[in-house]
Structure 1
Amino acid sequence: MNYAPRTIREFSTLKDILYGSDDATSSSSSQESSGSKESRKDHITDKLLERLFASALPAADAVNGGSTMADVAERLQDQKNRPAFSVPVMARNFSRLNSRVGVLFRLQYKIMRIMIWRHPSHTFSALAIYSFICLYPFLLIIFPVAVILLGFMVPAFVQRHPPPPSPLPSFPVPSEGPPLAEAREPRPVPELSRDFLMNVRDVQNAMDDFTCAYDNVVSTWTRPTNFKDEQYSSAVYLALLALAAALFVLSPHLPWRHILLVYGWVVVIKKHPKARRILKSSHEMYVSPREHQLSNVFDTWVQKDIVLDELPEQRHVEIFELQRQKNSDVDEWDDWLFSAAPYDTLSPQRASKQRPQGVRFLDEVLPPVGWKFVQNSAWKLDLRPAEWVLQRSVVGADVDNNSKWVYDTTVSGRRGEWRRRRWLRVCERHSAGEE
């Protein structure tokens, strides 16, 4: 059964929906004013869609393959000068891509035919070129020039000077004299043509190939590298670190040209149908029974030698108790609040004449995000206030080592209206799944 007419009708319907029908595009000039209104309407629709995607749709977190907030901000900055999301723009770009992407898929299929030995003479020719490049690396600089000369310019010359017809197959020798044919210019294939539909199918299959390759890479490398199993990932890290150190020492002494030469030939020979059958049977007979044994040996080494018994990281969290003087003539102070900053004379909040921020009571102080207070720990007064004053480079401060208060000082040397002292409490990191 022939599905081509049905496919063409579906593509025509899609094109009419996205771009408008030919009757609409060929309307008279009396409708051009309404066209500007429709363009404004489309612009408003695109803005609404963009707002919808930005606010209504859930965002994937970094654990599930999404982006962190820093990545999102950087991508938005990179996309600032790019067009916003638009369904017509996406459809137009998709159509333009399918009209021009055929050359990439033709190159892909040529490489595949070489790798699977479709034509052994072509495969041996490619291996010969690869061998010369491995043995004489300077040819890599000449290779792009040779591709332009032999792959583009010579065929273009033969196109303009076609050889005379011959009943016997022979090497095409260009005809002499003036050009006999027009120069061929690469052009996008027409929409809804056979080549266009073939490109659509190739793009569809390329998306599936990329998805499968991505899933295979993730499934293969997730367990060894994401430290979900810390013992296993630590063992892999040590093995890779030892490998990197060995390669750093041995790399200058290895014959890399010959290694790449042998490796390339081995990879291509493995793709030969007969070689694949032999390797498959050999793998099932000799390698597969030992893979499980090697895996068990590695797991036993991991369980025995990789010991992870580290205690949670502990640090001190600080809070500053702020008090304000009631009257400059009386040494009486009001409890103000507990703040994360000392609210000294050079603090940004105080310089901008803002009130300090914090909580009224010490029990209301919470640990930082991702931390928790150690069980049975309590707030302790910092008995060495001069140290944190020196560490923070607090100027204009009068330290009272007896009461542990740090006072503001005025220009005349008198104590100011604010004083503070620091309290400390031990907190520790907790796991992501722990409340």
Structure 2
Amino acid sequence: MEDHSPDAIVNRDEPVPAIFAGKHDDARESKSGALKKSVYKAGRSLQDRLFSKILEQVMPVEDVDTESVSAGDKPISPDNKRPAFSLPLMANNFRRFNARIGIVFLFQTRVERLLSWKRTSHTLSFLFIYSFICLDPHLLVIIPFAILLFFVMVPAFLARHPPPPSTSTSSITPYYSYQGPALAPAKTIKPASETSKDFFRNMRDLQNCMADFSDVHDATVSAFAPLTNFSNEKLSSAVFLTCTLVTALLFLTAHLLPWRYILLVGGNAAILSLHPSFPDFVQSVAGDMLDPVAEQGAAADKKEQDSVDVGGVVIPTSPSAAVSLMGSLANISLDSYPEEREVEVFEIQYRSLAPYSESQWEHFLFSPMPYDPLSPSRIAGDRPKGCRFFEDVQPPTGWAWKGKKWELDLDCREWVVERMITGVGFEVSGSSSESGMASGEIGGWVWDLPPASFRDDDEVASTLGYDDLDSTHSPRGHDQRAKKKGKERVSQDYEEKVHTGSNVMGEWRRRRWIRIVHRTSMPAVDKQEQAVDDDT
């Protein structure tokens, strides 16, 4: 194994990692034995082909259709632009990526060393440069060119013009000659060789980087998720209101803030806080500021000194008082009244229209649909679907009954016209004596009109008319109907003539019952269980 790749940019500050194989844990991998490195040979082996075949059987059919799994040497995705998933191709790309990712880890190491005060002179120089940029942001444009000059081109020039070898036995500092032709070839960045220690260093850094990202991701989710996912509605509501106020305030005052000095002070304070002696310094300052005598005196009249009333505004004077004040502000009074909706169910009755049959209306079932003559289920020849009794009607998922009883909707005209139901008759409120309903019977019924074979010509002509329901039995209204037939036809599209007598009713009739439901906390269930009919 080579010591390192000369032209590769990698992090060589740490020794070559040891590789162990064993059971993996989220915290650390248990070290159970050494694993020898094997060089992956180009080309597809029998093992790779077998794994690809197994992978095709494991993946769902719809995923295979959209994201094809490769079983050949040249996998192509359906759009012929990007290759499909292939285990050998993924392994080859990982080796290429790992051989070239060293510059990222080298940059990460340099930044960590700079901010951790490993070399005080370097960190102070960075603070001076940062301060100059904060005071004069126009200098930010110079940074890319300065990096190109001092970190790319100057080292490249020094590589072409190295100092001559020292022949003296004394320790003399080598000097660079900037005159004459180049003495060395140009330095070219090359990927790390797979047989070098740098390749293993990159693998070690990549492994640790993935672990760091996972830890940061989990910590971020655990910290911010309770604040933003409304699991605690009072806390999330307080955060939402705070963000709203801050957004509105910054929208008006952001241009007035001294951002240069804010970034100057904040950046310097953040970097100075990373100094190893900073915690000891803070503890010493905090210890000097504590006065035991003043603390005992403050305990006696804590309630009087915790806050000061200035012009009716309570200002806290201690951290504990400030925390209690923020807690009181976060105690938002949420709406204690849940959302309410109105659900409906149709009581459907049936009677036979067979000749010489005097059958009465019989209860059929309660259905979420009115089963009108032009409904899809009626046209398809299906029977209405529902339940037999009121007690079997259940509220939608996530809702609960608020009212104790069902209420009858007597204004049937409204929901008939709203649904644009035709071929039906209904009673008008206040005209039960004219509608043919038996005395004492509850109204709100909407019935089907019978077929033409059950009515004479006059009934058919009058039933298919579009007249006012209040002028049903008036001869004068019959005359006016003949005169105004063309004018009033459009306004009466969804209303049918109501006649006395049971022979004007069809086989089915229905009426609408309503009930109030309110929202309840819905537990986490499967998506398929949540897909229920909201119409009961």
Tell me whether the two structures share a fold, i.e. TM-score over 0.5: yes
Residue 111 of structure 1 corresponds to 111
Give the equivalent residue in structure 2 for 1:210: 213
Structure 2 Cα separation of the partners of residues 349 and 185 of structure 1: 77
Measured after TM superposition, the shift of residue 106 of structure 1 is: 1.0
Tell me the residue number matched to 1:360.
Answer: 387
For residue 413 of structure 2, the aligned residue among 386, 394, 419 is 386
Distance 2:417 2:143 in 1: 65
Q: Structure 1 residue 231 and structure 2 residue 234: aligned?
A: yes
Tell me the amino acid that sits aligned with residue 119 of structure 2: H
- Which of 377, 397, 407 pairs up with 2:404? 377
In structure 2, the residue matched to 1:319 is: 345
Map of 1:195 onto structure 2: 198
Query: CA–CA distance in 2 between the matches of 1:418 and 1:165?
Result: 110
Q: Tell me the SS of whatever aligns to 2:281.
A: helix
Query: In structure 1, which of residues 36, 43, 57 is the aligned counterpart of residue 52 of structure 2?
Result: 43
Task: Choose from 393, 414, 424 the match for 2:514.
Answer: 424
Cα 1:326–1:218 change in 2 (3 A) is same
Q: Is the 8 A contact 2:371 2:384 kept in 1?
A: no
1:105-161 CA-to-partner distances (Å, cap 9, x unmatched) read 111111112212223333233334433443444444554354344433443344334
Contact 2:367–2:386, Cα closer than 8 Å, also in 1: yes
Per-residue CA distance 1:382-420 (angstroms, 9 max, x = gap): 22333334555x253656244434567899975787655
The residue that corresponds to 2:249 in the other structure is 246
Equivalents in 2 of 1:385, 1:307: separation in Å? 41
What's the offset of the Cα at 1:49? 3.9
Cα displacement (A) at 1:316 = 1.3
Counterparts of residues 45-60 of structure 1 (less than 5 Å): 45-51=54-60
Question: Map of 1:65-214 to 2, 5 A cutoff?
Answer: 83-84=84-85, 91-164=91-164, 167-168=172-173, 174-177=178-181, 179-191=182-194, 193-214=196-217
Q: Secondary structure at the match of 2:152?
A: helix
Q: Provide closer, same or farther for how the CA distance between residues 382 and 12 of structure 1 changes in structure 2, counting only shifts above 3 A.
A: farther
Judged with a 3 Å threshold, the aligned counterparts in structure 2 of structure 1 residues 324 and 192 are, in CA distance, closer, same or farther, namely farther
Match of 1:268 in 2: 271
Distance, in Å, in 1 between the alignment partners of 2:236 and 2:446 is 49
From the superposition, tell whether residues 397 and 123 of structure 1 become closer, same or farther in structure 2 (CA, over 3 Å): farther
CA distance in 2, matches of 1:339, 1:48: 45
2: CA distance between counterparts of 1:307 and 1:5? 58
- Supply the AA of the counterpart residue of 2:518: E
Q: Specify every segment of 5 or more residues in structure 2 that has no aligned partner in the other structure, as ranges.
A: 1-14, 22-32, 64-80, 167-171, 296-317, 429-442, 452-459, 465-495, 497-505, 526-536
**What is the CA-CA distance between 1:191 and the residue it aligns to?**
2.8
Identical-residue share of aligned pairs (%): 37
Task: Check whether the contact 1:324–1:336 (CA below 8 A) recurs between aligned residues.
Answer: yes
**Comparing 410-419 and 264-273, the one that deviates more:** 410-419
* Alignment correspondent of 1:307: 333
Give, in whole Å, the separation in 2 of the partners of 1:357 and 1:187: 76
| Aligned-partner Cα distance in 1 for 2:385–2:287 | 68
* TM-aligned CA distance change 1:114 to 1:5, over 3 Å: closer
CA distance in 2, matches of 1:176, 1:407: 109
Normalising by structure 1, we get a TM-score of: 0.69
Secondary structure at 2:268 match in 1: helix
2:377/2:383 contact within 8 Å kept: yes
Instruction: Give me the whole-angstrom Cα distance separating, in 2, the residues matched to 1:398 and 1:6.
Output: 82
CA-atom RMSD, angstroms? Answer: 4.5
What is the alpha-carbon distance in structure 1 between the residues aligned to residue 347 and residue 426 of structure 2? 15
Q: 1 CA distance for matches of 2:223 and 2:17?
A: 41
* 1:279-312: CA deviation from partner (whole Å, max 9, x where unpaired): 354467769x965554344335545xx3346033
Instruction: Provide, for residues 24-52 of structure 1, a one-character-per-residue CA deviation record: whole Å limited to 9, x for no partner.
Output: x69xxxxx9xx5x7655322211244359
Distance in 2 between the 1:199 and 1:273 partners?
28
The 8 Å contact of residues 400 and 406 in structure 1, kept in 2 or not, is answered as yes
- The whole-number CA distance in structure 2 between the counterparts of 1:272 and 1:195 is 31
Which residue of 2 is the match for residue 74 of structure 1? none
- Higher mean alpha-carbon deviation, 226-235 vs 326-335, is at 326-335
Letter in 2 for 1:42: F
- Contact 1:325-1:333 at 8 Å conserved across structures: yes
Could you say if the C-alpha distance between residues 6 and 348 of structure 1 is closer, same or farther in structure 2, counting changes exceeding 3 Å? same
AA matched with 2:368: A
Q: Is the 1:319–1:340 contact (alpha carbons within 8 Å) kept by the matching residues of 2?
A: yes
Query: Is the CA contact (8 Å cut-off) linking 2:20 and 2:34 kept in structure 1?
Result: yes
- The structure having more radius of gyration, on CA atoms, is 2
Distance (Å, rounded) in 1 between the aligned partners of 2:376 and 2:138: 61
Q: Which has the higher contact order (CA 8 A, sep 6+)?
A: 2
The offset of 1:94, in angstroms, is: 4.2
**Does the CA contact (< 8 Å) of 1:396 and 1:408 recur in 2?**
no
2:187 and 2:373 map into 1 onto residues whose CA distance is 78
What pairs with 1:320-359 in structure 2 (closer than 5 Å)? 320-322=346-348, 326-327=352-353, 337-342=365-370, 353=380, 355=382, 358-359=385-386
Cα shift at 1:220:
3.3
Asked whether the 8 Å contact 1:328–1:417 carries over to 2, the reply is no
How many angstroms apart in 1 are the aligned matches of 2:34 and 2:104?
26
Q: CA deviation at 1:342?
A: 4.3
Assess if the C-alpha contact under 8 Å between 2:412 and 2:445 holds in 1. Answer: yes
Long gaps (5+) in structure 1 = 27-31, 55-79
Q: What do residues 227-276 of structure 1 show as CA deviations (whole Å, max 9, x unaligned)?
A: 44433443343333333333222212112122222222221222223334
Give the length in aligned residue pairs: 384
SS at match of 1:105: helix
